[in-house]
Amino acid sequence: MLALNPFPLPLHLVTGNHDAPEALVGGFGGTRFLGGGTLTSYVVEHPAFTVVVLDSWVSGSPGGRLGSGQVAWLDRALARRPGVPALVCLHHPPVPVGIPFLDAMGLADGPELAAVVAAHPRVVRVLAGHVHRPVTAPFAGSTVAVAPSTYRQSGLVLREGVPGYPDEPPAFFLHVRPGAPAGAAWVTHSVPTTAPGVSR
């Protein structure tokens, strides 16, 4: 945690399928990295937007599930600030990404999540990871943005088989609201973290 403390921007952790939620809470519970609480599902209300973090981790499985209780909790959390843009964050993408190997380990209850997102039109992004490559798709009146990996990317293999890891640069997504006037659209940039031709 000491390495993260100097980070100048808000940083909110999301449980991944290789994580242990209890270890995440043990290391970061009560800090700003878990919204000041001791749960892996939490809400952070920034002045200009709300961040809702969900936990799609399933013990012993690479796939994810939210469960009815967490989906209902999300609905209540989004209802608290209906006029404020919201970012909903989870590890597993709630839609197929077109790579069969990865789609087999997606979010089991994506339709249930979609129903809640559709009921809250101020959800400007549903942010996910898991597949180790940048993907965007429409989702329940919003946009799913699946972030690239800051480590290595999965191959774009649109057929059966293990995608492997091509030589593509690590990267992250930057979500911005240019000018931030009322009603301004959010945009998403993919930002590589190494220069072209630089090995990792």
Percent over 90 (pLDDT), the chain? 78
> What pLDDT shows up at residue 1?
58
Would you say residue 94 lies in a domain? yes
In the predicted model, what is the mean pLDDT of residues 175-182?
A: 77
Return the half-sphere exposure (C-beta side, CA atoms, 13 A cut-off) of residue 191.
Answer: 9
Would you say residue 166 lies in a domain? yes
Would you say residue 2 lies in a domain? no
pLDDT score of 195 more than 70: no
> What pLDDT shows up at residue 88?
98
Would you say residue 70 lies in a domain? yes
What is the chain's mean pLDDT, rounded? 92
Q: How far is CA 114 from CA 75, 138, 155, 193, in A?
A: 11, 11, 27, 32
> What pLDDT shows up at residue 4?
78
Summarised one tens digit per residue, pLDDT across range 34-79 is: 999 999 999 999 999 999 999 999 999 999 999 999 999 999 999 9
Of 31-35, 55-59, 178-182, the range with the lowest mean pLDDT is: 178-182
Q: Which domain holds residue 120?
A: 21-192
Percent over 70 (pLDDT), the chain? 94
Q: What is the CATH number of the domain that holds 173?
A: 3.30.750.180
Question: Into how many domains does the chain fold?
Answer: 1
Would you say residue 81 lies in a domain? yes
Would you say residue 199 lies in a domain? no
pLDDT score of 182 more than 70: no
Summarised one tens digit per residue, pLDDT across range 77-105 is: 999 999 999 999 999 999 999 999 999 99
Would you say residue 113 lies in a domain? yes
Would you say residue 86 lies in a domain? yes
User: What are the DSSP E strand ranges found in the chain?
Assistant: 42-45, 50-53, 86-89, 123-128, 135-139, 142-146, 171-176, 187-192
Summarised one tens digit per residue, pLDDT across range 89-145 is: 999 999 999 999 999 999 999 999 999 999 999 999 999 999 999 999 999 999 999
